[in-house]
Structure 1
Amino acid sequence: MSFKRVFKQFSGSTLPRFFGSDKEVDEFSQKYQYDPKEKLGEGQFAKVYKAYGKDDGLEYAVKVVDKRSLSNLDREGLKLEIQVLEEVDHPNIVKLHETFEMKGKIILVLELVKGGELFDRIVAKESYSERDAASVIQKVAAALKYCHERKIVHRDLKPENLLLVSETDDTSVKLADFGFAAFCHDELDDGCGTLVYVAPEILRGRKYRTSPDMWSLGVITYILLCGYPPFFDTDQEALSKKIIKGKYKFRQEDWQNISEDAKDFIRGLLKRDPEARMTAEDVLEHPWISNLAAVPDLPLSTMQKELREFLAKERMRKALGAVIAINRLRNTLNAFAFNDVDGDDDGDDDGEEGEEVREEDI
Structure 2
Amino acid sequence: QMGDELFVATLVEKMLTALNYCHSHDVVHRDIKLENILYEDDTEFAEPKLIDFGFAARIRDGMWQRLGTPSYMAPELYTPLKDKRSLAAVSAQADTIRSPRIPNGATNEDAPSKHLHYDAKVDVWALGVTTFMLLSGRRPFDHPQQKEKIRRIRTEPLEFPPSPWDKISNEAKEFLTALMTKDPACRPSAAEAIKLSWIQQRSRVHLGREVAADLHANSSIVEALEAYSRADGLAKLALQVIAFSTPPSKLEELRTLFQRIDTDGSGTISPEEFKKAMELHPDIPSDQLEEIFFEMDISGDDEINYHEFLAATLPASTQVS
* TM-score normalised over the length of structure 1: 0.45
Question: 2:47, 2:25 → 1: CA distance?
Answer: 23
Q: Which amino acid aligns with 1:199?
A: A
1:24-43 alignment to 2 at 5 Å? none
Closer/same/farther in 2, CA of residues 171 and 251 from structure 1, 3 Å limit: farther
Q: Quote the residue 2:279 is aligned against.
A: none
> Equivalents in 2 of 1:293, 1:279: separation in Å?
18
Give 2:201's match in structure 1, choosing from 286, 291, 302.
291
Distance 2:174 2:157 in 1: 15
| Residue 239 (1) aligns with residue 149 (2) | yes
- The residue type paired with residue 195 of structure 1 is P
Q: How does 1:1-20 map to 2 (within 5 A)?
A: none
Give the CA deviation at 1:294.
9.0
Instruction: Answer yes or no: is 1:273 the counterpart of 2:148.
Output: no
3-state DSSP of counterpart to 1:189:
coil
Higher relative contact order (CA 8 A, sep 6+): 2
Q: Quick one: which amino acid aligns to residue 15 of structure 2?
A: V
DSSP 3-state at the match of 1:163 = strand
Aligned equivalent of 1:189? 64
Residue-by-residue CA offset, 1:280-336 (whole Å, 9 max, x unaligned)? 0011111211233699xxxxxxxxxxxxxxxxxxxxxxxxxxxxxxxxxxxxxxxxx
Report what 1:81 is aligned to: none
1:259 to 150, 169, 179: 169
Where do residues 124-143 of structure 1 align in structure 2 (5 Å cutoff)?
129-143=4-18
Deviations 1:67-89 (A, max 9, x none): xxxxxxxxxxxxxxxxxxxxxxx
CA 290–152 in structure 1, closer or farther in 2 if over 3 Å, else same: same
CA distance in 1, matches of 2:138, 2:197: 24
Kindly provide the amino acid, as one letter, of the partner of residue 176 in structure 2.
I
Is 1:222–1:266's contact at 8 Å kept on the other side of the alignment? Answer: yes
TM-score (structure 2 length as normaliser) = 0.50
2:160 paired residue number: 250
Correspondences of 1:60-79 after superposition (within 5 Å): none
Unaligned runs of 5+ in 2: 82-115, 206-321
Partners of 2:5 and 2:202 within 8 A in 1: no
Instruction: Give the C-alpha shift of residue 203 in structure 1.
Output: 1.1
Are residues 1:198 and 2:73 paired? yes
Q: Map 1:301-312 to 2 at 5 A.
A: none
Q: Aligned partners of 2:53, 2:47: CA distance in 1, in Å? A: 19
Number of corresponding residues: 170
Aligned partners of 1:160, 1:258: CA distance in 2, in Å?
23
Question: CA 1:232/1:293 → structure 2, altered by over 3 Å: closer, same or farther?
Answer: closer
Looking at structure 2, the residues matched to 158 and 231 of structure 1 have their Cα atoms a distance apart, in angstroms, of: 15
How far does residue 256 in structure 1 lie from its aligned partner after superposition? 1.1
Question: Residue 185 of structure 1: SS of its match in structure 2?
Answer: helix
Q: From the two aligned structures, give the one with the greater helix fraction.
A: 2
Task: Give 3-state SS (helix, strand or coil) of 1:291's partner.
Answer: helix
**CA 1:171–1:135 in structure 2 vs 1: closer, same or farther (change >3 Å)?**
farther
Distance in 2 of aligned mates of 1:177 and 1:276:
28
Q: Please give the per-residue CA displacement for 1:154-205, whole angstroms capped at 9, x wherever unaligned.
A: 0000000000111113562110000111001143111100000000101115
Largest Rg, 1 or 2 = 2
CA distance in 2, matches of 1:166, 1:294: 19
In terms of fraction of residues, the more strand-rich structure is: 1
Residues 185/264 of structure 1: CA separation in 2 closer, same or farther (3 Å cut): same
Give the corresponding residue for 1:167: 42
Structure 1 residue 276 displacement after superposition: 0.3
Hey, what's the Cα distance between the residues in 2 that align with 1:171 and 1:250?
Answer: 30
Paired with 2:53 and 2:132, the residues of 1 have a C-alpha distance of: 23
**What is the match of residue 303 of structure 2?**
none
Structure 2 distance, partners of 1:232, 1:213, is 19
The runs of 5 or more residues in structure 1 that have no matched partner are 1-121, 296-362
- Is it true that 1:180 corresponds to 2:55 in the alignment? yes
Residue by residue, what CA displacement relative to the aligned partner does 1:113-145 show, whole Å, maximum 9, x if unpaired? xxxxxxxxx47xxxx611101011001000000
Report the AA paired with residue 239 of structure 1.
Answer: K
Question: In structure 2, do the counterparts of structure 1 residues 171 and 260 end up closer, same or farther at CA, with 3 Å as the change threshold?
Answer: farther
Taking structure 1 as reference, are residues 279 and 168 closer, same or farther at Cα in structure 2, changes over 3 Å only? same
Q: Which residue of 2 aligns with 1:348?
A: none
Quote the Cα distance in structure 2 between the aligned partners of 1:144 and 1:158: 13
Moved over 3 A (4+): none
- Once residues 153 and 266 of structure 1 are traced to their aligned partners in structure 2, the CA distance between those partners, rounded to angstroms, is 20
Q: Give the letter for the 1:281 counterpart.
A: A
- Alpha-carbon distance between aligned partners in 2 of 1:129 and 1:166, rounded to the nearest angstrom: 20
Matched, 1:224 2:134: yes
Give me the identity figure in percent: 36
